[in-house]
A and B are shown apart, each in its own frame.
Chain A
Amino acid sequence: MRELTLHILDIIENSREAGADLIKLKIFEQPEQDSLKIFLKDNGSGIDEDKLEDITNPFVTTRTTREVGLGLSLFKQAAERCGGNFYIKSEKGKGTEVMVEFPYNHIDRAPLGDIITTIISFIAVNGDSIDLIYRHKFKNREFCFDSREVKKELDGISIQSKEIISWIKNYLKDSFAEIYGGEN
């Protein structure tokens, strides 16, 4: 995967398959501390304790449950090839949490990529059934998008409607312009 956002999209797909209806995504960019952190947390079915140990081994896959496969191993590899770290925590019946940490300035760190398209694609297809809380921090500035807040205003209209998706896209664009302040 060429972009970290593609890994994010992939892990979110795991959450969807695990029956999650709430996904939390946090991206913290701290270039001065040479740190980029990505947190993903869902309330899906979780992973068995004995499977969790081997979950990032590409040759361990339980395709019948469709919960593991190459996705997590590729994400882990993306972190480790530039000296980063990958953590996973999961509890059966409660959900799964993934935390990946990268050295921000490492030459082998994949670029974050097109996060707006990633978020928008996910909501346009799954927004009615899965909620997303997305927090992005750059240095000391941050914003938070919560699809549940948007839905409150929509009064039954689908969040997947073209017009709403386009509004969210502009909202994210403005929010990024604000936190990057012309720096990125």
Chain B
Amino acid sequence: MKSLKELKELRNKVQKEMEMRDQSTKPEIIVGMGTCGIAAGARDILKAILEEVDRRNIDLRVTQTGCIGMCEKEPLIDVKMPGKKRITYGNLSTDDVKKIIAEHVINGNIVKDLVIAKHED
């Protein structure tokens, strides 16, 4: 692989930024990536999340899960804010994702009309 050297410079930059962040208070978004999710557009949803995170420069953990049994509500994501209930949003478009990140992740307000479930954990 070529240009691996560039990575070293990048590494120093990332290291500085990481020192400034508090790792324990990261919000998390979990994307449903089972066959049902992927067929319904989960890859575009994930792409939109990564783009929003990049554009707004938010410190957010993005993870994936398999089929959770709500295939008809795919594509769906869970938003887990530190110390708060996990919220599941379903039937999403990429525009919905932008809205959820702006309203829920950044401002802390659940986007009620897109919620399909709440979890206690």
> Judging by beta carbons under 8 Å apart, are A121 and B43 in contact?
yes
Query: A-B contact count, CB below 8 Å?
Result: 89
**Smallest CB-CB A-B distances: 10 pairs:** A153-B7, A71-B35, A121-B46, A125-B64, A70-B35, A10-B38, A161-B14, A157-B14, A157-B11, A163-B14
Chain A residue with Cβ nearest B61 = A160
Tell me the dominant secondary structure on chain B's binding face. Answer: helix
With most chain B CB atoms within 10 A of its CB, the pick from A114, A153, A164 is A153
Given contacts A13-B66, A163-B10, 12 further A-B contacts (CB under 8 A): A6-B43, A9-B43, A10-B35, A69-B67, A120-B50, A124-B50, A124-B62, A125-B46, A150-B7, A155-B11, A157-B18, A167-B6
B-side interface residues toward A, CB under 8 Å? 1, 3-8, 10-11, 13-15, 18, 31, 33-36, 38-39, 43, 46-47, 50, 53-54, 57, 62-64, 66-67
Q: In this complex, what residue of B is CB-closest to A8? A: B38
Give the residues in chain B near A171, CB-CB below 8 Å. Answer: 1, 3
Contact A125 B63 (CB under 8 A): yes
Chain A residues touching B, majority SS: helix
10 A-B pairs with CB atoms under 8 Å apart are: A10-B34, A13-B64, A124-B62, A150-B7, A154-B7, A154-B11, A155-B11, A157-B11, A161-B18, A163-B10
